[in-house]
């Protein structure tokens, strides 16, 4: 089978970013990249703040945050009054966990595709409360029906107090049927927290239609917002129980203000986030999504061919609309977290290519992304040079 043709580049898109042109940035999924126009919008807000800090923080800032939240929630199809801006997805997860009121013997159920920091947060909450964590193993090749059945069989009504699932997994680029999972959990009276770190901007998400008790996603990965911008959506029955990690002056205002107001936090990333959505809309939201997904698929195929991976063995757990792609590394390569991190650093230093190397289920995986600033030749250069580097044990 021949390698598919890459998508046409979006004219001028590369010039919107200040990325080092000497480096191939093929790991947009970890920290995103902020367009120059958004950087400038945030800098103007910083200049305003530093020109008169007292006025900035005390005159209208709460209302400005609420206005921004309404704008971002509208883009994501979430209830603006039932959502709160937070620093990132892991912060939102921590807020939910400590607001659950867990007791000894209560159970938090998750899957083995979960994000590492979220797993650590679950473990800490279990140590703090006496709750227990249980992890469901799910094959990478599991169909939506199989995945839902695994979750259904894993629920323990009366004991499982929270189910944590990803919308799109970081380690394995697997798209979960979250709405179906939420439906099954609701049948058993189990609340669901959806880790949607990669959804905003990449996936045509309508949060309300998922129906989760809690949903949290980053806008600084795929929606071009400054880093430190995420939205936590909370179902009505839970809003009065949500408590911030740190109490500040808006505590008595209730949700969401009590969560959003964190004293002298730098609020400029949130206030500049709508400029990121403006950039995306200017390029064409559907156009950006289609381009990124097609380019990631092209990169997966080109690099996979170079590593001798048959096309049939290249995983496609996310489907055609996902801009994250996995390539299995040779046996024994990157099989631990430390080994994966070391290999990722070597690729960055020696090949001038920023990629993600993941260790999952006893195997090392190369994770590539596609973004409007990428071009086909970046993946081709990586494919040409990577086999020799991997041969250097």
Instruction: Give residues with Cβ within 8 angstroms of 343, minimum separation 6.
Output: 329, 333, 334, 357, 364
- Predicted local confidence at residue 12, as pLDDT: 93
The pLDDT score that the predictor gives to residue 282 is 97
Question: What CATH class has 284-391?
Answer: alpha beta
DSSP at 223: S
Query: Rounded to an integer, what distance in angstroms lies between the CA atom of residue 356 and that of residue 353?
Result: 10
At residue 1, the pLDDT reads 54
pLDDT at 328: 97
Give the tokens for residue 282. 């200017």
pLDDT at 318: 76
Region(s) of the chain under CATH 3.40.640.10: 37-279
**Is the sign of the CA dihedral 306, 308, 311, 316 positive or negative?**
negative
- What is the largest distance, in Å, between two alpha-carbon atoms of the chain? 64
Q: What is the pLDDT of residue 5?
A: 84
d(CA 155, CA 157): 6
> For helices 89-99 and 116-129, what crossing angle results, to 10°?
20
Model pLDDT for residues 244-281, shown as the tens digit of each residue: 999 999 999 999 999 999 889 999 999 999 999 999 99
Q: Which long-range contacts (CB under 8 A, 24 or more apart) does 333-337 make?
A: 333/364, 333/390, 334/358, 334/359, 334/363, 334/364, 334/365, 335/359, 335/362, 335/363, 335/364, 337/116
Tell which residue, 348, 102, 82, 367, has the closest CA to residue 238. Answer: 82
DSSP state of 94: H
How many other C-beta atoms can be found within 10 angstroms of the C-beta atom of residue 184?
Answer: 18
Instruction: Report the pLDDT value the prediction gives residue 182, as an integer from 0 to 100.
Output: 98
Within the chain, which residue ranges are assigned CATH 3.90.1150.10? 284-391
* Backbone phi and psi for residue 74, each to the nearest 5 degrees, phi listed first: -60, -40
Spans in the chain with pLDDT lower than 70: 1-2, 393
**Average predicted confidence (pLDDT) for the chain:** 96
Question: So what's the pLDDT on residue 169?
Answer: 97
Give the architecture (CATH level 2) of 37-279: 3-Layer(aba) Sandwich (3.40)
User: So what's the pLDDT on residue 319?
Assistant: 78
Q: What is the pTM of this model?
A: 0.96
Structure tokens at 166: 């990803």
The token pair at 110 is 């998750």
User: Residue 30 is encoded by which pair of tokens?
Assistant: 């970890």
pLDDT at 316: 86
């Amino acid at each position: 089978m021949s390698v598919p043709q890459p998508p046409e580049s979006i004219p001028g898109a590369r010039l919107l970013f200040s990325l080092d042109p000497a480096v191939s940035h093929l790991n947009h999924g970890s920290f995103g990249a902020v367009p120059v126009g958004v950087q400038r919008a945030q800098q103007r807000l910083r200049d305003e703040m530093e020109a008169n800090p007292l006025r900035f923080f005390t005159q209208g800032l709460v209302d400005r945050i609420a206005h921004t939240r309404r704008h971002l929630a509208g883009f994501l199809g979430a209830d603006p009054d039932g959502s709160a801006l937070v620093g990132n997805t892991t912060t939102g997860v921590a807020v939910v966990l400590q607001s659950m009121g867990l007791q000894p013997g209560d159970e938090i159920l998750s899957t083995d595709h979960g994000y590492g920091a979220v797993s650590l947060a679950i473990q800490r909450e279990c140590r703090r409360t006496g709750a227990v964590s249980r992890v469901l193993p799910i094959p990478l090749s599991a169909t939506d029906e199989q995945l839902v059945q695994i979750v259904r069989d894993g629920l323990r009504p009366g004991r499982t107090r929270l189910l944590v699932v990803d919308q799109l997994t970081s380690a394995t680029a697997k798209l979960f049927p979250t709405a179906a999972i939420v439906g099954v959990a609701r049948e058993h009276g189990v609340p669901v927290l959806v880790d949607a770190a990669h959804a905003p901007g990449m996936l045509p998400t309508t949060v309300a239609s998922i129906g989760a008790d809690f949903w949290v996603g980053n806008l600084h990965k795929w929606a071009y917002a400054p880093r430190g911008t995420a939205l936590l959506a909370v179902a009505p029955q839970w809003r009065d129980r949500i408590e911030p990690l740190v109490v500040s002056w808006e505590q008595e205002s209730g949700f969401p203000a009590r969560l959003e107001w964190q004293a002298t936090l730098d609020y400029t990333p949130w206030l500049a986030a709508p400029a990121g959505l403006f950039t995306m809309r200017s390029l064409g939201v559907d156009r950006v999504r289609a381009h990124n997904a097609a380019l990631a698929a092209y990169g997966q195929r080109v690099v996979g061919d170079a590593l001798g991976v048959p096309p049939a063995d290249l995983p496609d757990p996310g489907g055609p609309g996902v801009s994250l792609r996995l390539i299995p590394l040779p046996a024994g390569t990157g099989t631990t977290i430390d080994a994966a991190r070391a290999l990722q650093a070597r690729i960055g230093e020696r090949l001038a290519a920023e990629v993600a190397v993941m260790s999952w289920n006893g195997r090392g995986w190369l994770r590539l992304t596609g973004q409007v600033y990428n071009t086909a030749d970046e993946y081709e250069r990586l494919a040409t040079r990577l086999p020799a580097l991997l041969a250097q044990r």
